[in-house]
Amino acid sequence: MQRLSKLIADAGSASRRKAADLVRAGRVRVDGEVVTDPGIQVDPAASRVELDRRLLRAQPKRYLLLNKPRGPLSAVADQRGRTTVIDLLGDTQERLYPAGRLDADTEGILLITNDGDLTYRLTHPRYGVEKVYRAEVRGRPSRAAIRRLSQGVLLDDGPSGPARVRLLRAGRDTSLVELTVHSGRKRMIRRMLKAVGHPVRALQRTRIGPLTLGDLYPGQWRSLTDDEVAQLRRCVNQNAAPPGGTAPRNQTHR
């Protein structure tokens, strides 16, 4: 038996969080009946599960690492016809989607997959997966600014949480700052740096958990190795907070 939302995610139709939304919206049928509870237990070997009246079948799992350039949206498709990260892949047989998001004007590492369970674990704060960003900012951050970033910055949607911060290059007009965080709210890195007086000029994500860009140029992608997939799974399993608990906290560096 398996939770309905997980079964949908395992079929490659959506991330686990999105799958739950699809069920609640009444778009899923089990043995011909509309079901709106994503938590019900379903036997994948005996039950017929349909999404929008299309039979769901398990797909081979694929894991692609993309160096996202500036411009494309972190989405499967766009109603306004704008380029998405899926467009950069060319023709693919499986239905793939980005595991998390990068803003259109942010570049760097992005995992694209049809593994809904792994996507859920990589993006949910409970699992505390590190994301590393390098930001070119205006001005030269002071020790006080770096301390504020390390301790967490109060944003309009709540505190950012602490970050591990390194000043990689200090200049009078621009500087290069590296931030390691566990959460990934919308435009959070940009908002954090703006809040301490150093707006971002360019932003790149360089690492997700154990994965780095390597020698991929912007717009290039490759398949993950079996060992890299295993490393990702170990990462999310080791970092998972207990039910009702919180993700691991960053250690603050100045």
In 3D, which of 157, 130, 135, 156 has the Cα closest to residue 146? Answer: 135
Give the 3-state DSSP-derived string for 44-88, with helices as H, strands as E and coil as C. Answer: CCCCCEEECCEECCCCCCCEEEEEECCCCECCCCCCCCCCEHHHH
Where would I find the beta strands (DSSP E) of the chain?
2-3, 28-30, 33-34, 41-42, 49-51, 54-55, 63-68, 97-98, 107-113, 131-138, 154-155, 158-159, 164-169, 174-181, 200-208, 211-212, 221-223
If you search the block for the tokens 């792994």, which residue do you land on?
Answer: 118
DSSP secondary structure code for residue 212 in this structure: E
178 phi/psi in degrees, rounded to 5: -110, 130
Q: Annotated catalytic, 117?
A: no
CA dist list (Å): 180 to 73, 154, 155, 208: 23, 17, 17, 10
List 10, 37, 103, 226, catalytic entry? 103
∠ Cα 135 137 138 (to 5°): 175
Query: Which residues does the annotation mark as catalytic?
Result: 103
